[in-house]
Amino acid sequence: MKLALFDLDHTLLPIDSADTWSHFLVRAAGLDAEEYGARIRHFAATYKNGNFDIEGYLAFQMNLLARFPRPQLESWRDNFVRVHVAPHVRPEAIQLIARHRADGFVLALVTGTHAFVSRAIADLFGIEHLLAVVPEEAQGRFTGRYVGTHTYQEGKVRAVQAFLAARGTTLARCEDSIFYSDSINDLPLLEAVRHPVVTNGDTRLRAIAAQRGWPMLDLFDLHHSDGQAMQEQRVGS
């Protein structure tokens, strides 16, 4: 198996889909925008600063889903994806994915945006496999909990390992494996694949990439020479 893995926010998309969804849901549901907005911004800041409370964040996200009937959530989600996500799907990202598909790679989106939202976004990109936090359901409603592993830091590695184990293989046995990500928080999975690609990288991750000689791709600014070289030398390889 040849495996191509993609982070979502600030990697394939130039936005943070999880935070954008959270703010959208708060507005759509008529919740207290000041109270909820402060919590969303707090989680975003701690994610960037390295002191992120993943379980607290997921409890917040799952409880938001649990407040509303699923049909209403689906209607809101469909509108969210159409208005707030689809316009940000760039041809550069579509071309990157298409080149790996044409070269016979199995494609998977590995994201911290929970599966209720990210499944619809994966479909926009034509990516079949999704590795994301799965909200728990019972009797047609979300329970406020999640099932399986989270997909933050080492959680992404566990999710990929479980995905491959279900197919009777491992990362070590893959003919090739590549992961595109922008975030220092994805360093564990970048280190686990054969070909890590720092994509629209944050400052700390770019520094590590420079030290280790990892390729860097500026997917949404192809005027950068390193981005151009990345496309010529590695995309679809």
Domain ranges within the chain, ordered by starting residue: 2-233
Active-site residue (options: 9, 16, 186, 218): 9
Which residue did the predictor score with more confidence, 23 or 223? 23
**pLDDT at 237 (0 to 100):** 31
Instruction: Indicate whether 224 pLDDT > 50.
Output: no
For the segment 54-60, the average pLDDT, to the nearest whole number, is: 97
Active-site residue (options: 7, 182, 186, 218): 7
Closest Cα partner for 39 from 17, 57, 15, 24? Answer: 57
* Confidence grade of residue 39 (pLDDT, cut at 50, 70, 90): very high
Mean pLDDT of the chain: 93
What are the structure tokens assigned to 62, written together? 């799952």
Distance CA 199, CA 220 (A): 9
Chain segment 69-105, per-residue pLDDT in tens: 999 999 999 999 999 999 999 999 999 999 999 999 9
* Confidence grade of residue 221 (pLDDT, cut at 50, 70, 90): low
DSSP character at residue 114: -
| Reported CATH class of domain 2-233 | alpha beta
In the residue annotation, 218 being an active-site residue is answered as no
Instruction: Indicate whether 235 pLDDT > 50.
Output: no
N-terminal to C-terminal alpha carbon distance within the chain? 14
Instruction: Indicate whether 166 pLDDT > 70.
Output: yes
In the residue annotation, 103 being an active-site residue is answered as no
Buried b (16+ CB within 10 A) or exposed e, 57-96: bbebbbebbbebeeeebeebbeebbeeebeebbeebbeeb
